Structure formats: structure tokens, C-alpha cells
Amino acid sequence: MTRGELDPIPSPLHDRHVALGAKFAEFGGWTMPIEYAGAGVLAEHAAVRDAVGIFDVSHLGKATVSGPGAAEFLNRCLTADLAKITPGKAQYTLLCNESGGVVDDLIAYLRSPDEVFLIPNAANCAEVVRILAEAAPEGITVTGRHQDYIVVAVQGPHSDEVLRGAGFEAGHPYMSFVVADHEGAEVTVCRTGYTGERGYELVAPAAVALSLWDRVITAGEPYGLQPAGLGARDTLRTEMGYPLHGQDISPVITPVHARLGWAVGWKKETFFGAEALRSLKEQGPDRLLRGLKATGRRPARPGMDVVNDGAVIGTVTSATFSPTLKTPVGLALIDTAFSDGDVVGVDVRGRTEEFVITKPPFVTPGVREP
């Protein structure tokens, strides 16, 4: 039976979202909050940019890779060079297919040379586990843990205060994590996020989901902590130009096309898709993922054509109305003959709207601030 034939999975925090008046939608096979009553996408977006927000992103995949040499094994599979980080650090990386397309992008938490925790995307978790399990040598175990853990993201300028108010350590370096305790359960607190703002993601066993959520919510009250749904998560990440799998990267859109070469360990001996990606890098792609910023008010939509003098030169992959800039922005795969600063059109329902190719992020990021 396929995922599509099954009922959507509710988050372990579903009852809390119902109590908050959340509007739900299916996402990656899960039922997740899109926005909350009394707030909405715009208010939730603004809270993250200006104060602090909390997201339930438990739909994200979870898996463990363990056994002697687990990190070394993964380093022969994933694109980024896992040897460049030490235990206690996390790394953005990609799992590619033989043609260089992206099976998924994920975060690898290096716990030790013999244990790595992975967070892939919701819809791709089973496939990531399958591919890695089939490639694993004897002694290395790849285990899907998708429903065993929750992931809660606390994002915004006041995220440190909220974490400390909840009794968790904060202030550690970007892409590093610490392990804390909550009711006898281990909580991983990592300086990561998908919003561009300073923030943290907490990974904890599903058994303590409700009490952990309540603990953070209570600590956030003095700072105006706002529950935020996946609607605001999408507008926030698009303002930063962060790629979304299935739109900006996919099994047919490579990291070279998506300008994610920084997440590829080109000097490594091997990784899945290495030969195809090295060849593509050398010859150069025909299109590159670039940002678009509108000069007018009509937003684009994914799948719309990017045009110039009547010729199609690209395709919109992500688009939204930026709540921060009050203007439409987006991402598109565009012919390499065009570059930042060029004015192009987007065919919006038969009418050409003017956009300027603009290097993301569209807003000033705060994620790397000390």
C-alpha cells in the first residue's frame, strides 16, 4: 500500500494545534497546521522576523545511521564532506541519483564517527532510508524513525531568550547542537532553521511532545511567542531563497542547476552522482536557479514561464508575495545567458509581468549573527 492510499499522519502535537484554532492541510503525507486562528500567515511571518515564532515541523523525516564507521559510509553517499565537521555539528547535504538529480536534501547531525542522525524531507524519508540501507555494508544499520520523534523550530530574534527561559542551552554556534534533558528524555537542540532568522530546532521523542511544546510555549509568553504554520514557513524560506525539494531541486534538478555547489564536496573521492555532477559542472548547465523580484504587484506561480522578447527562457519554481518587502518574489530556473540585474517577464495568465533577476536573499538574514 502506498503513502497516497493511507490516511495522513497527524502530528503528535495535533491536539495543541486544534486548541489553537489551526487550519490544516496535508503535507508530505502528514496533517499539519498551515496557519492559526487570530493570526494568519502575515502575522505569523512578521512575528518570526520581528520577535519569535514556534513551528511544529514534525512531518520532517528522521533516520539513524549507526555502526562502526557510519559517518565514513555516509560520506561516500551524501554530497557534502562530512569529514569537515566534528561530533556536535550538523551539516546541510544532498542525496543524489546517478544522473546528479536530487533525491532529497537533508541535515546530518554527526553524533559520533559511529552514529549520524538524519533529517530528510517528509515525503522522501522512506526513499532515503531505502537507498542508504541498500548501500550499507555489513555492520552499518540504517533505521527509519519518522514517527518516533517530533521536531519543533523556535525562530526569530528572541529565540535565545525563549530557549533559556525554557531551561535549555542557547547561544551555541550556527549548525551546532547540544543535548538536553526533558522529563528524562533526550532533546537535541540545534542552531538550525529554514527562516533566515536566528533560531533553533528541537528534536525529541514523540512521547514527550505535548509537555515539551507546553514548556516552550510558557517560556515564550513574555516575548510574544507566536505559533506559526507551514504557510509562514514557506513565505519566510522563499524570502531567503532557500530551495524546496520537489520545486527548486528534484530528481531532475541537480545541485549544479540550483547553485548548491557549496553543499558538494568536490574534492571527495566519491559520492552518489559524483561523475554526472562533475561532468555537468565542467561543461556548465543550460539553466541556473535565480531569484526574481517583481516591479509590479501581481505574483508569479510555480510552473509559469519566464520570458524575454516573446521567447521562453525559464520556469518559475517557487513564488510568493513577500510580507516583508510587500512585493512578489520567487525563484526560477533561467537560461544562463541572463544574470542578476536583468529585467525579464513572467507569463502570468497570459499577461507578461516584469521581474528583475535578483540574487537572494531578498531580505537581510539574521541566521549567522552571534
Strands of 63-66's sheet in order across:
89-96, 102-112, 115-119, 63-66, 141-144
pLDDT at residue number 368 = 53
Reduced to 3 states (helix: H, G, I; strand: E, B; else coil), residue 210 is helix
Residues counted in the chain:
370
Taking each helix axis as running N to C, give the angle between helix 230-240 and helix 41-50, from 0 to 180 degrees, rounded to the nearest 10.
Answer: 50
Reduced to 3 states (helix: H, G, I; strand: E, B; else coil), residue 240 is helix
Residue in 179, 184, 222, 223 with CA at minimum distance from that of residue 202? 179
Enumerate long-range contacts of 3-11, CB under 8 Å, 24 or more apart: 3/29, 3/123, 3/126, 4/29, 9/59, 9/147, 11/56, 11/58, 11/59, 11/150, 11/209
Q: Mind listing the pLDDT tens digit for each residue in 56-83? A: 999 999 999 999 999 999 999 999 999 9
In this model, does residue 3 exceed pLDDT 60? no
> Which range is least confidently modeled, 256-260, 337-341, 342-346, 362-366?
362-366
Reduced to 3 states (helix: H, G, I; strand: E, B; else coil), residue 262 is helix
pLDDT at residue number 233 = 98
In this model, does residue 367 exceed pLDDT 70? no
Q: Mind listing the pLDDT tens digit for each residue in 317-344? A: 999 999 999 999 999 999 999 999 999 9
Where residue 282 falls among pLDDT bands split at 50, 70, 90?
very high
Q: Mind listing the pLDDT tens digit for each residue in 103-125? A: 999 999 999 999 999 999 999 99
pLDDT at residue number 65 = 98
Percent of the chain with pLDDT over 90: 96
Where residue 2 falls among pLDDT bands split at 50, 70, 90?
very low
In this model, does residue 12 exceed pLDDT 70? yes
Give one DSSP letter per residue of 7-43, joined into a string.
PPEEPTTHHHHHHTTEEEEEETTEEEEEEETTT-HHH
Q: Mind listing the pLDDT tens digit for each residue in 15-30? A: 999 999 999 999 999 9
pLDDT at residue number 251 = 98
How far apart, in whole angstroms, are the C-alpha atoms of residue 158 and residue 223? Answer: 7
User: How does the average pLDDT of the chain come out, rounded?
Assistant: 96
Q: pTM above the 0.85 mark?
A: yes
Q: Mind listing the pLDDT tens digit for each residue in 131-187? A: 999 999 999 999 999 999 999 999 999 999 999 999 999 999 999 999 999 999 999
Locate the DSSP E strands across the chain. Answer: 9-10, 22-27, 30-36, 53-56, 63-66, 89-96, 102-112, 115-119, 141-144, 149-155, 177-182, 185-190, 199-205, 226-228, 287-294, 305-308, 311-322, 327-335, 343-348, 351-358
> Which range is least confidently modeled, 46-55, 179-188, 257-266, 357-366?
357-366
Where residue 7 falls among pLDDT bands split at 50, 70, 90?
confident
Where residue 365 falls among pLDDT bands split at 50, 70, 90?
confident
Q: Mind listing the pLDDT tens digit for each residue in 33-62? A: 999 999 999 999 999 999 999 999 999 999
How far apart, in whole angstroms, are the C-alpha atoms of residue 194 and residue 197? Answer: 8
In this model, does residue 1 exceed pLDDT 50? no
